[in-house]
A and B are shown apart, each in its own frame.
Chain A
Amino acid sequence: MSREEIFHSVRLDESKCKGCTHCIRRCPTEAIRVKGGKARINEERCIDCGECIRTCPNYAKYAQSDPLEAIKEFKYTIALPAPAFYAQFKFTLPLSKVLSGLLKIGFHDVFEVARGAEILAEEIKCYLQRRDIVKPVISSACPAVVRLIEVKFPSLLENLLPLDSPLGVVAKIARLEAMKKGYRPREIGIFFITPCPAKVTEVRQSGDDLARVDGAISMSSVYSRLVNELATIEEVIHSQMAGFRGIGWARSGGEQESLGPGEYMAVDGIHHVIAVLEKIEVGELKEVVYCEAQACVGGCIGGVLAVQNPFIAKVNVNHLLQKYNFYAPIEKTHQAEWRKKGVFLRSKPYEAKEVMRLDRDLHRALEKYQTIEKLVEKLPGLDCGACGSPTCRALAEDIVQEKALEVDCPFLLRNRMVDLAVEMYELASKVPQTMIKEEEGKKVGNQNS
């Protein structure tokens, strides 16, 4: 079903990687090891959050996305700008100009993901009314958080909102509309303008049917093309439909604002998200109905493919919310039709990845756990990363999984060398009997007795 099951947008440029250990310690799923002087990403564990891209001092980590030229392969192309895209521009610039600019650089139509968020918000409201939900319901908008839960918190899969992201919703609506205009599915190219690598991965796995998104172009590359065009745009050729409710999704807190009054919470930054998920896992936060969780600090405006500093972008968002303080209600007939066509359904069910388990066999897994415990006691506990694993415990796991050696730890290696030196010294002081001089023989005579 999915086009590329194991695809990751976060990549390594080996020529730039110096094998320093900044990234391995920042990775929330301990997916990176330094081997042979280069960082290696474990594809099963990587959640495409982009933390390593942020932290790499050598710009060796990057997010792979599609070039703008990719739209030329299609007869009819639709741009789906993320709400965070609006925040990249000075708030004095009318959004209709930005959208018109997208048509100028080659797209045939624009569907706002922010409008998709408004449509989805109505559906979320309905879902939260249900009695069988497991609280708190966790937002499915951030694909890095969804994958984090699949990898590290599988028991919370039942809390995940079983609805598609604003991107998924608006992509399906855009395709339906284009088909109504008479275009055949293969002629339609739908492109997301993405703030982050996690969304690139979501796009690559979007399936081959109605849910298909044909590419993800980075916000930064569209921005640089658009900036030059903006000055030349006189007439508005595309009006904007999304108001404050949808635009607010650009930053943390926007989801809950679009849902109206209720018990909600918002958490942003992947390490903060982990701390909150741990609380939910032990049964806290049951009074919270909806939990908005975003991997990037500040929400989508904090994505690594954004141009603007996230805090400045936040100022822009706040101004935009005041400026576009309107909401175009969604017609019930439309909502019903979309529901019927499966616009809100996810193309792929959530699944536990179980990459944390040590062995397929439970006995073996627990044996390995005990070996790890013993190794952890032996290791220095400095979590220095010099071995190439993020922590001493991670090295112990790697040793047990036969992916590393004890002597990869420079401290254990040094201990072994000291032992060896002592042994060498002892051996060196043992002289063969034939070589013992009479005088010395008296001194060392007892050594072989």
Chain B
Amino acid sequence: MPEENPLVEMEREIVGGDFQRAGDVSSELKNILQQAGFPAPFNRRVVIASYEAEMNVVIHAYRGIFRVQIYSDRVHIEVDDEGPGIPDLELAFQEGYSTAPPHIREMGFGAGYGLSNMKKCSDRLHIDTRVEEGTRVIMDFFLPSFMKG
């Protein structure tokens, strides 16, 4: 991919365990995409994936940094967290598999669809994870080519 400067960059902190503000970052991102005029179906999948990534930090990690870069034809998201990491990535991708503790699941979070949703909604998903250290999620979303220009 040719290197070009993003048109808009955003960086936000996410606090682990802060359920009240969970989703704020994704809402903000949605507003930018909407104001930019990206097509609604594109925005929806970016926002769903971004929300899942954001929620993963809130549910599992201590803290995280959410970075997004918006280009004219794609959106790039990186979420870095300090947290427990994912011991078995393959298992984590299975729908319904969750390591969220019961009290979190009882609240309706951590149903085990996070990673599979992120995979479904993004065009490229890369996960780096180290147990007891943290996880980095990288996602790319490409605008359908007919929308360009």
Contacts and interface: CB of A to CB of B under 8 A. Distances in A.
Interface stretch (B35-43, B76-84, B89-97, B134-142): B35-43
A369 B32 contact: yes
Contact of A282 (B23, B32, B34, B37): B23
Contact of B7 (A281, A352, A359, A363): A363
Given A357-B35, A362-B72, A366-B8, A282 B40 contact: no
A388 B116 CA distance: 46
Contacts of A279: 23
Given A282-B51, A356-B34, A359-B37, A369 B26 contact: no
A282 B47 contact: yes
Size bin of chain A's contact surface: 20 to 34
B36 A362 contact: yes
Given A282-B48, A283-B48, A357-B34, A370 B8 contact: yes
B40 to A, nearest CB: 4
A357 B27 contact: no
Contacts of A283: 48, 51-52, 117
A157 interface: yes
A138 to B, nearest CB: 14
Nearest to A397: B35
Q: Which of B23, B37, B43, B44 has the most CB of A within 10 A?
A: B37
A215 B1 CA distance: 59
A278 interface: yes
B30 interface: yes
Contact of B37 (A155, A365, A370): A365
A358 interface: yes
The residue among B36, B70, B72 with the most chain A CB atoms within 10 A of its own CB is B36
Interface string B1-29: 00000011000000000000001001100
A218 B105 CA distance: 48
Contacts of B52: 283
Nearest to A360: B37
B72 to A, nearest CB: 6
Contacts of A359: 37
Given A283-B51, A283-B52, A366 B44 contact: no
Contacts of A358: 35-37
Contacts of A154: 34, 40
A14 B91 CA distance: 64
Interface size for chain B: under 10, 10 to 19, 20 to 34, or 35 or more residues? 20 to 34
Interface string A344-374: 0000000010101111101101111110000
Contacts of B48: 282-283
Contacts of A368: 35
Report whether over half of chain B's contact residues are helix, strand or loop; otherwise say mixed.
Answer: helix
A352 B42 CA distance: 14
A281 B35 contact: no
A367 B23 CA distance: 25
Given A282-B48, A282-B51, A367-B7, A357 B30 contact: no
B30 A281 contact: yes
Given A363-B72, A369-B8, A282 B26 contact: yes
Contacts of B26: 282
A63 to B, nearest CB: 29
A417 to B, nearest CB: 32
A298 to B, nearest CB: 26
Nearest to A281: B47
A85 B31 CA distance: 39
A373 to B, nearest CB: 8
A281 B44 contact: yes
Contacts of A369: 8, 32, 35-36
Contact of A365 (B30, B36, B41, B117): B36
Contacts of A370: 7-8
B40 A157 contact: yes
B1 to A, nearest CB: 18
A401 B13 CA distance: 30
Interface of A: 154-155, 157, 278-279, 281-283, 352, 354, 356-360, 362-363, 365-370
14 contacts: A154-B40, A281-B47, A282-B48, A282-B51, A283-B52, A356-B35, A358-B35, A358-B37, A363-B72, A365-B35, A366-B7, A366-B8, A366-B70, A366-B72
Top 3 A-B pairs, shortest CB-CB distance: A357-B37, A282-B51, A155-B44
Given A366-B7, A367-B7, 20 more contacts: A155-B40, A155-B47, A157-B40, A281-B30, A281-B47, A282-B23, A283-B52, A352-B40, A354-B37, A356-B34, A357-B34, A357-B35, A360-B37, A362-B36, A363-B7, A366-B8, A366-B72, A369-B36, A370-B7, A370-B8
